[in-house]
Structure 1
Amino acid sequence: MVHFFCKIRSAAFAISVIIILTLATSCKKMLQINLPADKITGETVYSNTNTTVAVLNGLYAKLVDYLGSTSVRLAGVADDINAAPFLRTPFYKNAFDVNDSGQSDQFWSFSYGSGIYTCNSVIEGVTASKNIPDASKSKLLAEARFARALMYFYLVNLYGDVPLVTTTSLVTNSNIARSPVNTVYKQVIEDLTFAKENLPSNFVGTDLSTVTAERVRPTTWAASSLLARVYLYKSEWKNAELESSAVIQNSSLFDTVAVNDVFEKNSKETIWALQPNNNQTPGETTSTYEGKAFLPLPGTNISGSQASTNLLTSFEQGDLRKQNWIKFFVDNSQSPAITYSFFYKYKNGSNDSQTSQPQTEYSIVFRIAEQYLIRSEARARQHDLIGAKSDLDIIRRRAGLSGITISDDNTMLSNIMHERQVELFTENGHRWLDLKRTGKVDEVMSIQTKLKDGQWQPFAALFAIPLLEFTLNPALKGHQNPGYPEHI
């Protein structure tokens, strides 16, 4: 985390703003801001709504890769994926290498090295700005706090106790201890409550007011969706039900759609999505991060990441999700023939065409099916089996399956977790986080890790704090997660 802050001296704020604006202006379809070098100061950046929107657009552009890699890497850490031998890294085999900066510490390094700092910079800059109208201020602050809450949600679920950084102060951030998970969650809930109250209820453009069909800026419904997830993870069942219900009841904006249409851009299933970062140059694909990662390379039918046997055997007969979200290729050149699979939720991958393809998919961060599954579980935990069945059956029938039979609480919860596995696989780390929060991670991964050529160790349920942090942040010394070293 704090290595980002420690490298920046007296000009920290101005330099970081330059970096942020560079990101913002490098992304197609984002608002273009060109300022003279000697005018790029905190006061200039937050002098009006447009320049501040550009900062947030730069953050969203970075979140595309961060959340995309979260989907890919956490699917590999869990039991969604059977990786090809050349992709069987220590990370994939649940033997996390504290020196591998490209694997388990990527979540830490982005969140603290760029993401959270940007959010804090926006919050401080917009609050102090004398020129941004109050109506725009509240929306900008809400977007920044929403994004900060999202990153902290992943941090506490991947690392446990983490430093709670809410300022750009170098003095504070260069020597900051880990805060308990519940303390971090308290801040997350405060941020999301503010966001829910101040984000627009419709999807808007970069002027923060014009209604648009593009579902790429967060709304009050995105904040409620993350709040519902947070409350579920905290076992606050009633609050989880209330927040998910608020989203589900807005049927004018959100509804389930046909399985094959779920991941099309701006589908009614989408609560919030991110546009892929593409330059639209000849030969460059317009695919999502997930599409590039999971689909076969041009001219081939085999991907480096196949669906695991555990996932494939979890589908019921006739499940449309298996038929539409996983694709199979039979290699008859082998004897006997070999059947390969690859993930097909996102259908646009790397493309060898010399002409850019139309952009038809965005990376979905929140969608309505998860909210039905959250509410179903929240109701089951409160012994409302009829309500839980009603929500679960909506997801099942969309998948071409019959409704479930009501029995007891434990059977209902087992059915819900099964639906989460076959509905949310390879998305945003859901499977890995579900195994952890339900206490099933040791049971499942002790078997699955062996199939990945590894050996499961229970401490691996939390990732290691990167070694560099113990050199740069004195307050972290002696507080590494169990099972990992603080130095070589």
Structure 2
Amino acid sequence: MKNLIKYIVLIPVLFFSAACEDEFLERMPLDSPSSETFFENETELEMAVTGVYNRLWYWPAGIAWFLSFDFASDDGWDRNGSALQALGRGEQNADNGFTNGFWSHFYRAINRTNFITSRGSHLRDEMDPAKYDRLVGEARFIRAYFYAYLAELYGDVPLVTSTLTLEESQTPRAPKAEVIDFVMSELNEIKAYLPMDAGEKGRITQGTVLALMSRVALWNERWEAAAAAAKELMDSGTYSVDPDYEGMFTFEGDNSPEVITRIQYLRGVQTHNMPRNFWSRMALGHSNKKPPQDFVDTYDCIDGLPIDESPLYDPQSPFENRDPRLDYTLVVPGSRLVNWIYETHSDSTMTWEFQGEDSVRVPNIEAQHAYASFTGYLYRKHVDVANYPTDVGSTDQNLTIFRLGEVLLNYAEAKVELNQIDESVYEAINSLRQRESVQMPPIAAGKSQEEMRNLVRKERRHELGIEGFRYFDIRRWGIAEDLIPGPYRGRVNRYGEGGWLNEPPMIDPIGTPSYDHISNADEMVVVETRDFNPNRDYLWPIPRIELETNTALTQNPGY
């Protein structure tokens, strides 16, 4: 992908040179390539495909688009007072900038692919056909990828697969099932055009296609298709579980055996500011995005039992003896973040700073700062400490969008829903739980379908935490109406005595905590109160501007 990116930089040079020719000056626009002459050669096709790839660089509300959804789920909150925060509160409408932005962005990317497929087919006879099929296949993948998200977010959406004239622009919504049929058909066709290993980081591969097939089929309860796609990827032997869970989400993750595809960034072309959004004030961050207490409490103890059942759990030392993925995913009080011990209680006016092999006591900004984490916790995943201090606001760390861990859990869930719970299902889950850096107890055989369904749902929250899946999971399981409404809580008030819950919360079979019985639950920070209307909020609103310009569209119920 980073080789592809160079064409973005070259485009202005190429067209400036062409403008020096008299014929070009007479017939073509000076500030852009002409749609009538574009796709003259292989280089222009490569540039056009790169233009589709760069639509993956989308940052609504200051967060990578594919991660942003989780900040409207029960696992995340956005402090910025943005349209994303309104979505989390259930206050979105047809003018919401966050939901409207996705519609616009996805269709712009789709239009770029439609332009390629509509205008570039003649090049297949003028260049290596295999290379043509691969390049166009990559663009078609991204079109299918975005259609899958459009259908999941908005339901029925216009299915446009070629460039439209003005007269054709009044396009009605296609049924969601028809859109998903298109997505699965596209993926099945382009799979043959792509290598399993591209040899060039960031490119779409067969592995990427199979991973998306398993995801889309799972989201739409096409269990057999989900299991088959996942199994094909698993059996390919191309990917394996990475022993280093935390390392997958750092710079080193580029070479992880588990990572299938990452969005590529390049200094001087495109960077991002994830460290600024996630990290503490002492680490030069703004802690804009914050996890709740119940995300912390969902993680089991190292004996495999939830915190309300495990004898290893101590409410006064709540982070000891816990699933290591808790510390790999979140920054909790008492843990190290960059060069400091992270503390958030008001009594912690001093903290430890690591200076080489030594540590010294220094003033603790997090204890009193008005914009320190309201909940007492931060996110650690996706951000490498190597970004400190120079790249906190502008890093070229690549971000993972597909990895084997998700595919294994897609496979397990699909097989459970088919009630085909065999050894391969346990192996898929346990290979993740028992990776070298995690070492959680294996799930024992002999579970019922309902028990396995709960275990898989819980495992997805732990293994895939803040990777952009939770929002879709709780919606497709039909439980968002149970989990989102009510207070979004942080730790016991950092200005109160102690700072910890007196008792462990009660944990349900899918890992959801309840604080109803806890004697000091009223001391927990309430960041905001959320709502979720089950008669409306399982779908996003169609943007008002789209309804006004395309009168063939209809609005979703409740908006």
TM norm structure 1? 0.82
Pick closer, same or farther for the CA change 1:330–1:473 going to 2, 3 Å.
same
* TM alignment of 1:231-242, pairs within 5 A: 231-242=217-228
Distance 2:35 2:382 in 1: 39
What does the per-residue CA deviation read over 1:85-134, in whole Å, with 9 as the maximum and x for residues that have no partner? 75683123121132232x1111101011x111001111112213353331
1:374 alignment partner, one of 401, 404, 410: 410
SS in 2 for 1:365: strand
What does the per-residue CA deviation read over 1:211-237, in whole Å, with 9 as the maximum and x for residues that have no partner? 34x2x0001111111111122122222
How many residues matched? 442
2:549 alignment partner, one of 457, 472, 476: 472
1:270 alignment partner, one of 251, 259, 269: 259
Displacement of 1:74 in angstroms is 0.8
1:322 alignment partner, one of 301, 318, 326: 326
Of structures 1 and 2, the larger Rg is shown by 2
Distance 2:325 2:81 in 1: 28
Structure 1 unaligned spans of 5+:
1-23, 204-210, 281-285
1:404 match: 443
Distance 1:104 1:358 in 2: 25
1:98 match: 94
SS in 1 for 2:298: coil
Displacement of 1:447 in angstroms is 3.8
Structure 2 unaligned spans of 5+:
302-321, 333-341, 350-366, 369-374, 490-525
What does the per-residue CA deviation read over 1:390-413, in whole Å, with 9 as the maximum and x for residues that have no partner? 211111112321011332101101
SS in 1 for 2:64: helix
Contact 2:144 2:187 in 1 (8 A): yes
Say whether residues 1:343 and 2:379 are aligned partners: yes
TM norm structure 2? 0.72
Displacement of 1:321 in angstroms is 1.1
What does the per-residue CA deviation read over 1:316-358, in whole Å, with 9 as the maximum and x for residues that have no partner? 1231211222113213554796982211112248967568999
2:85 match: 89
Between the aligned residues of both structures, percent identity stands at 23
Q: More deviation in 271-280 or 67-76? A: 67-76
SS in 1 for 2:236: coil
SS in 2 for 1:364: strand
**Equivalent residue letter for 1:226:** L
**Equivalent residue letter for 2:244:** A
Say whether residues 1:59 and 2:59 are aligned partners: no
Pick closer, same or farther for the CA change 1:449–1:335 going to 2, 3 Å.
closer
**Equivalent residue letter for 2:542:** I
1:118 match: 112
Displacement of 1:461 in angstroms is 1.8
2:312 match: none
2:556 alignment partner, one of 467, 481, 484: 481
Pick closer, same or farther for the CA change 1:350–1:131 going to 2, 3 Å.
same
Q: More deviation in 300-309 or 459-468? A: 300-309
Displacement of 1:180 in angstroms is 0.3
Displacement of 1:172 in angstroms is 5.7
**Equivalent residue letter for 2:104:** S
Q: More deviation in 236-245 or 169-178? A: 169-178
Q: More deviation in 449-458 or 243-252? A: 449-458
Cα RMSD between the aligned structures?
3.1
Distance 1:271 1:26 in 2: 18
Pick closer, same or farther for the CA change 1:387–1:302 going to 2, 3 Å.
same
Contact 2:77 2:85 in 1 (8 A): no
Pick closer, same or farther for the CA change 1:381–1:364 going to 2, 3 Å.
same
Say whether residues 1:423 and 2:448 are aligned partners: no
2:209 alignment partner, one of 210, 223, 227: 223
Displacement of 1:139 in angstroms is 0.9
Say whether residues 1:388 and 2:464 are aligned partners: no
2:481 match: 442
SS in 1 for 2:87: coil
* TM alignment of 1:168-179, pairs within 5 A: 168-171=163-166, 173-179=168-174
Displacement of 1:291 in angstroms is 4.1
1:460 match: 537
Q: More deviation in 444-453 or 129-138? A: 444-453
**Equivalent residue letter for 2:260:** I
Q: More deviation in 453-462 or 143-152? A: 453-462
- Of Structure 1 and Structure 2, the greater helix share is in 1
**Equivalent residue letter for 1:58:** G
Contact 2:263 2:398 in 1 (8 A): yes
2:494 match: none
**Equivalent residue letter for 2:529:** D
Distance 2:487 2:223 in 1: 30
Contact 1:98 1:464 in 2 (8 A): yes
Distance 2:379 2:295 in 1: 11
Distance 1:420 1:356 in 2: 29
Pick closer, same or farther for the CA change 1:387–1:288 going to 2, 3 Å.
farther
What does the per-residue CA deviation read over 1:18-71, in whole Å, with 9 as the maximum and x for residues that have no partner? xxxxxx999568573422254623454322222212222222222122595333
Displacement of 1:373 in angstroms is 0.2
What does the per-residue CA deviation read over 1:153-177, in whole Å, with 9 as the maximum and x for residues that have no partner? 1001100100111111123651000
